[in-house]
Amino acid sequence: MRSVPEPVPGESAPAWFAFCPRCGSPMVTERVADKPRRVCPACRYVFFTDPKVGVGVAVVDDGKLLLVRRAMNPERGKWSLPAGFVDQGSDPRVTAAREAWEETGLAVEIESVIDVFFNPPGAGGASIFILYGATLLGGQLQAGDDADDAGFFAPDQLPELAFASTRAAVAALFDQ
Cα 107 from chain centroid?
20
pTM, two decimal places:
0.79
Q: Are 144 and 166 contained in the same domain?
A: yes
Whose CA is closest to 61, among 109, 16, 24? Answer: 109
Q: Are 114 and 29 contained in the same domain?
A: no
- Res 76: pLDDT: 92
Statement: residue 18 has pLDDT above 90: yes
Tens digit of each residue's pLDDT (9 = 90 or more) over 81-135? 999 999 989 999 999 999 999 999 999 999 999 999 887 766 667 889 999 999 9
Q: Are 44 and 59 contained in the same domain?
A: no
Q: 5: pLDDT confidence band, cut at 50, 70 and 90? A: very low
Q: 4: pLDDT confidence band, cut at 50, 70 and 90? A: very low
CA within 13 Å, CB half, 49: 18
Tens digit of each residue's pLDDT (9 = 90 or more) over 121-155? 666 678 899 999 999 999 999 999 889 999 999 99
Q: Kindly state whether residue 3 falls inside one of the protein's structural domains.
A: no
Q: Are 40 and 94 contained in the same domain?
A: no
Q: Kindly state whether residue 130 falls inside one of the protein's structural domains.
A: yes
Tally of domains within the chain:
2
- Res 116: pLDDT: 94
Contacts of 1 (CB under 8 A, 6+ apart): none
Using the CB atoms, write b or e for 150-162: b if 16+ within 10 Å: bbbbeeeebeebb
Q: Are 74 and 115 contained in the same domain?
A: yes
Tens digit of each residue's pLDDT (9 = 90 or more) over 26-37? 999 999 988 899
CA within 13 Å, CB half, 105: 11
Q: What percent of the chain has pLDDT over 70?
A: 91
Cβ atoms 56, 63 nearer than 8 A: no
Residue type at 142?
Answer: Q
Q: 49: pLDDT confidence band, cut at 50, 70 and 90? A: confident
